[in-house]
Amino acid sequence: MNKKLLAVAALVCSLTVTAQSEVRNLRIENRIDPVGLDVIQPRFSWQLENDKRNVMQTAYEIRLLQKNTNVWNSGKVASDSSVHVTYKGPALKSGEKYQWQVRVWDNNGKGSAWSRPAFFQMALLQPSDWKAEWITPGYPEDSVLRPSPLMRREFNITKKITRATAYITAHGMYEAAINGNRVGDAHFTPGWTSYKKRLQYQTYDATGLLKAGRNALGVTLGSGWYRGTIGFANHHNFYGKDIALLLQLDIEYADGTKELVVSDGSWKSATGAIVYSEIYNGETIDARKDKTGWMLAGYDEGNWSPVKTEAFDKGNLLATYNEMIEAHEVFKPVKVLKTPAGETVLDFGQNLVGWVRVKVKGNAGDSVSLYHAEVLDKAGNFYTENLRSAKAKNTYILKGGDTETFYPHFTWQGFRYVKVEGYPGTVSPDQFEAVAFYSAMEPTGTFTTSNQLINQLQHNIQWGQKGNFLDVPTDCPQRDERLGWTGDAQAFFRTASFNMGVNNFFTKWLRDVEADQIDGRVPFVIPNILGNGANSAGWADVATIIPWEMYLAYGDKRALATQYNSMKNYVESIRKTTKDNLWNTGFHFGDWLFYRPGDDNDGRSAVTDKYLIAQCFYAHSVQLLINAATVLGNREDAEAYGRLLKEIKEAFVKEYMTPSGRLVSSTQTAYVLALHFDMLPESLRKQAAERLAENIKSYGNHLTTGFLGTPYLCHVLTRFGYTDLAYKLLLQETYPSWLYPVKMGATTIWERWDGIKPDGSFQTPSMNSYNHYAYGAIGDWMYRKMVGLDTEEDGAGYKHIKVKPHIGGNFKNASATLKTYYGTTAAGWKVEGGNILMEVEVPANTTATIYLPATDVAAVTESGKPLPAVKEIRTLGAEDGYLKVEAGSGKYRFSLPGK
């Protein structure tokens, strides 16, 4: 065969292979083409796409190149691993850019083509790689208003550039520009961490921002979390009084030479248009003080002050691992209101977190103020009392002339309504738009049903998550708080991990959990700005709950191993305080915001003994530590803590349960926690579940649970055969219920079950947020039980998918999709014409165990064929009223008789 024919044959072979299977969606450390990794052994993930059923990967090969030179090749590795595959090549170098590809072989004997190249660039791996100096303003600061400093420097470029990388961080917040163009899409950088121990810097590809000749670097700073007012105790200067910049620009030229432009004593400083900026109170911009052109080369900086250099720590610097906060959806006002009080108010139709961009034309000195609120009062007036001391006010002072556009820089608000004061001319919706901000996590899950109220509930859950996932999982985004409350985060995590890819977000935050632990004890908020308060049951257990649930959701053993010491230290911090294995000391929030009826009710208040709750969570954390030890191969710890767990449960039974199985607290939360955490002897669990069900019925099919009981309530009911009651709770429309706020017009999850009472009045304004995601934890039941889309523990991260729907509630249909590391998985059911139709999608390189709500295999079809005739599906038998089958990748459509 001549060379031409060989080439044609090779092309045909290549096309055939590609048609058989394709490798896509390459990620490294859970990110696509990241710039700025400081993980010295990063992990590769990819997806295998193939339309055939039952496709599994049997081998892979990874190659790593730099400038077309081979750095490492894994060789052909016999493995079905396609997620978190560890790099095992030569040491990676600071600042260097690498290219990687992967190809795979499947169980049909077919090999894929090499994937399209993916890239990553390393960050600065050693403190000595930092040549920049910390710089602070050189002028005398106004210590009251603290206007935002401006810092600038110019430099020359005389050669052709091949690559330029900027590394930037700050004490405070920063916005950087090169030649007047913004560096990156992130806002509120460098984000919020336990700054003394962990200060993140961001890495940017700045190649396209530079030009031949004269260039200018310009950076604006804001006080932010570092020295601004934070916490409802009005802390300020919590991490320090200074405001400072650290910046390093690495430039590589085509001739092989390099140049550094760094923050040092040559920079100049001044103040500009941002005359005041605080997270809670808002921002004031005086456009008359704008230093036009200061971010461009050639600007006259003669009146600017030289900066000061400082010997601040660089040992706490680390590269950014998580997705940063970015701008997302944009909303126009749905109406302009004139309130009974005569105020002009914009309604954006959605409770969101971010800020409003306004266009205005007027005279120099005209002042426009925007005030932010979540709700209107019962009379229709603007209501801000629930913001407490947070002013949430942005003020813009015009310089006059042409139309001016204003928006804040280092603050944000939580709002649906905006009151406008001082606007020259007519307030028109065309002049205003609200921009939503949240950490740029990938949307991963969808959920929809035949019930529009439940669909709105899902909408509210998602927007509660968006509004409170701004670099840390905050409790609320509007008042003088916005803190990383640990109890809220653990209660909501599993729901959060369905809606968005939160693995990087929480991996970063969990490192701060460990950094801020006090002799193992976990503070109430992370980062900890509230002092020594710690180890409240159900809050502090975030140290064990989220690492384990992250493992289940993402199959990430390294994240579990990284947090293992934190988990163990937390458990031991409890153990030190116990007597006879009882955790019955210390402060505990308890079942926060549980049901407390008003005077017109029967006087029952669902008070659950706080030490009973503590004992349940103590046992749960020990169980999760055992689980982690088992997965990580730590047999000795697993056995030792197994013995401890037995003693903890025995102590619970002795202290909190009567011989007949009645608990000392007869609340829903008490029985939910005791059942969910297996605190009761198995022989007494059935009657305990009956007591729980009777309690719910005695309240007219209403829940009475607070932050700690609510996440598990419907799960427990389903586990013990009361799914019909779980549906009644889900669909309950009167207070207290999930749908009561929906019926009252909520667009996010409320902090309280009755944030707005039926008569239109408000709950206690000192603690009444209308964007507070904790009760949105019901989403987890809707996704994993109602639709039934879940992961098995033996194949965490949806390597082994579980689909077990629970049909009920007079729903006509319910479905969910989830983007996993392996691809999109989906499940759904529809009740139609006396039959149940079930659809399941299983990504390549995974398997699924599917539970069909049927008893007779002969009555079930798949894609129109009798189930026994479908060779790709293996029937495993009957279990709890379901037919249990096993399937590999592919799309499946089952039909079975309805009940």
**Which DSSP helix (H) or strand (E) runs through 419?**
strand 413-421
- Determine how β-strand 823-832 pairs with β-strand 472-473: unpaired
**Which DSSP helix (H) or strand (E) runs through 654?**
helix 635-656
| Residue from 374, 481, 549, 862 carrying the catalytic annotation | 481
Whether 751 is catalytic: yes
Q: How far, CA to CA in Å, does 767 sit from each of 480, 526, 842? A: 11, 20, 44
CA distance 812 to 208: 53
Q: How far, CA to CA in Å, does 601 sit from each of 109, 597, 604, 682, 699? A: 69, 6, 8, 36, 10
Q: For residue 330, what are the contacts with CB-CB under 8 A and spacing of at least 6? A: 433, 434, 435, 436
| Residue from 29, 301, 549, 751 carrying the catalytic annotation | 751
Q: What's the DSSP call for residue 249?
A: E
179 sits in the region (left: phi over 0; alpha: psi -120 to 50; else beta) called left
Q: Which amino acid is at 778?
A: I
Residue with tokens 């900027």: 166
CA distance 865 to 599: 61
Return the half-sphere exposure (C-beta side, CA atoms, 13 A cut-off) of residue 496: 28
Q: What sections of 181-339 are H helices per DSSP?
A: 224-227
**Exposure pattern of 579-616 as b/e (b: 16+ CB <10 Å)?**
eebbbbebebbbbbbbbeeeeeeeeeebbbbbbbbbbb
CA distance 520 to 572: 7
Residues 812 and 898: beta-carbon distance below 8 Å: no
Q: Which amino acid is at 318?
A: L
User: 513 in helix, strand or coil?
Assistant: helix
Nearest to 647 by CA among 676, 623, 671: 623
Whether 841 is catalytic: no
Residue with tokens 């009755």: 754
User: 610 in helix, strand or coil?
Assistant: helix
Nearest to 759 by CA among 411, 199, 327, 379: 379
CA distance 211 to 159: 10
User: 465 in helix, strand or coil?
Assistant: helix
Q: How far, CA to CA in Å, does 793 sit from each of 341, 555, 851? A: 58, 9, 16
Q: Where are the beta strands (DSSP E) in 718-788?
A: none
The residue count for the chain: 899
- Determine how β-strand 199-205 pairs with β-strand 317-319: parallel
Return the half-sphere exposure (C-beta side, CA atoms, 13 A cut-off) of residue 632: 23
Sign of the dihedral defined by the CA atoms of residues 679, 681, 683, 687, in that order: negative
Q: For residue 469, what are the contacts with CB-CB under 8 A and spacing of at least 6? A: 438, 439, 441, 496, 500, 502, 505
Neighbours of 338 (CB within 10 A): 11
Query: Active-site residue numbers?
Result: 481, 751
